[in-house]
Amino acid sequence: MEDIVLIHYNEIAIKGKNRNFFEQKLINHIKRVLKEDLLLIKKRYGLFYCKFKKGSKDRVCKLLKMVPGIAHFSFAIISDLDLEKIKKDSLEFLKEKDFLTFKVLCKRSYKKFKYKSMEVNMLIGEYILNNLKRKVDIKNPDLNLYIEIGEKEVFIFSKKIKGLGGLPVGSSSKIICSLSGGIDSPVSAFKMIKRGCDVVYVHLYNNTLVKREVLSKIRNIVEKLNNYQLNSKLYVVPFSEIQKEIIANISSEYRMIIYRRFMFRVINAISVIENCKGVVTGDSMGQVASQTLENIFSIYDVSTIPILTPLIGSDKQEIIVVAKEIGTYEISIIPYPDCCSFMLSLHPQTKSNLDEIKKLEESILKKELLIENAISKADVFEFKI
């Protein structure tokens, strides 16, 4: 009976003159993700509604839960702008439901409709009470009957399914993600996808320690994140030559800081190729030695574009909760010898001085050539849905 899905957004509604741009981005994403299940999509003030193929409701529900920009959605029926028709359709709709108590919640965006919201609540409630012999409970009902009165039609539904919220993908700038293969960076990327960004991924690996087939873990993480983005690109960059230079010229307590400065140089160079406007990392304040405020200052100084740190104030458990929700956690915990572990010192510097760091880097010659050589040997993978 519920042959349409009603899609609501929140943040897009406050975009003023740019609202249509954001709405169209969300419509395009919905069309791409639902594919052949979608029969039509129509825009109404503050919402969309979609008609989908019979038998595809469960799949449609699963897919819409992964679309950034959707606040919530509901499977609904359509009625006419006529109170008697709304009564009858509400009754038929509720005959399929299992409940003892109910509450009617009317939203009247079309103000020319003859009856006000409270009047609709009372009249529909009375009709259901008399015909279905169910009780009204305005505080804790078994079922909420939602009635949305628009300019052209009326929508009737009983459940709001939570969406991701945020902004539709592509409504913000393209950014680049430093993807380590751990738990944190995929969560950071996901949070920026929810803010409307297109994310390009860069993974740096020691090609003397890690075989190419082991890199399937990194590809699997990007594939999982691509469920939310639909189009993704991954650069896998060999980093062993740069690491050798760092090890040969830098004392062990400073290696991680210098390593991460080179990492950002590589990512910045790729950002020029991809026209990215910022870098996103999985850094969380104080989680490891490289993430003290002093070391963050020394490391980020090398970047020529803004560095975004959506997890900077999150603790590990908070990050793990999100990783499990988005499906990256089980992949991230698979053992993997990343570059960082190779550089760790027993006593790493936690309060670096930027001038001192720059002085130490002078011992590494031909920095730009090292970076160019690493990028020239990168493997590039594309993911599409």
Residue 92 predicted with pLDDT over 70: yes
* Mean pLDDT calculated for residue range 92-108: 95
3-class secondary structure per residue, 145-167: EEEEECCCCEEEECCCEECCCCE
Which helix or strand (DSSP H or E) is residue 76 part of?
Answer: strand 72-79
What's residue 1's pLDDT?
59
Q: Tell which wins on pLDDT, 270 or 345.
A: 270
Task: Name the maximum alpha-carbon separation found in the chain.
Answer: 86
Residues 6+ apart with CB under 8 A from 130: none
Residue 272 vs residue 351, higher pLDDT: 272
CB 22 within 8 A of CB 195: no
The pLDDT score that the predictor gives to residue 349 is 77
pLDDT band at 170 (very low <50, low <70, confident <90, very high): very high
pLDDT of residue 221: 97
Q: Where are the alpha helices (DSSP H) in the chain?
A: 19-34, 57-64, 83-95, 117-132, 184-193, 216-229, 240-249, 252-274, 293-300, 316-326, 329-332, 339-343, 354-361, 367-376
Tens of pLDDT, residue by residue over 46-56, are 899 999 999 99
- The side-by-side arrangement of strands in the sheet containing 174-178 is 307-308, 279-280, 174-178, 198-205, 231-238, 379-384
Position 143 pLDDT exceeds 90: yes
Q: Which CATH superfamily is domain 174-384 in?
A: HUPs (3.40.50.620)
Residue 59: pLDDT band by 50, 70, 90 thresholds?
very high
Q: Can you read off the two tokens belonging to residue 318?
A: 């908070």
pLDDT at 352: 86
pLDDT at 337: 65
- 224/375 Cα distance (integer angstroms): 25
| pTM for this entry | 0.92
Per-domain residue ranges for the chain?
4-162, 174-384
Q: Which value, to the nearest 10 degrees, does the dihedral of the CA atoms of residues 301, 304, 305, 310 take?
A: -20
**SS3 of 132, please?**
helix
In the predicted structure, residue 284 carries a pLDDT above the cut 70 = yes
Q: Identify the residue whose tokens are 């990028």.
A: 375
Confidence grade of residue 299 (pLDDT, cut at 50, 70, 90): very high
> Shortest CA distance to 66 belongs to which of 177, 180, 225, 234?
225
Architecture per CATH, 4-162? 2-Layer Sandwich (3.30)
pLDDT computed for residue 290 by the predictor: 82
pLDDT (tens digit per residue) in 320-339: 999 999 999 999 998 876 65
Q: Which residue has the tokens 């991460």?
A: 260
Amino acid at 45: Y
What is residue 291's predicted lDDT score, i.e. its pLDDT? 84
The closest of 281, 279, 295, 263 to 375, measured between CA atoms, is 263
pLDDT for the residue numbered 208 = 73
Residue 182's nearest CA partner among 290, 20, 294 is: 290
Task: For residue range 33-45, list pLDDT tens digits in order.
Answer: 999 999 999 999 8
The pairing of strands 307-308 and 279-280 is parallel
For residues 120 and 152, what is the distance between their CA atoms, to the nearest angstrom? 17
3-state secondary structure of 352: coil
Task: Give percent above pLDDT 90 in the chain.
Answer: 84
- What contacts 369, CB < 8 A, 6 or more positions away? none
Residue 343 has pLDDT above 60, yes or no: no
**Number of neighbours of residue 140 by Cβ within 10 angstroms:** 7
344 vs 83, more confident: 83
- Report pLDDT digits (tens) over 123-142: 999 999 999 989 999 999 99
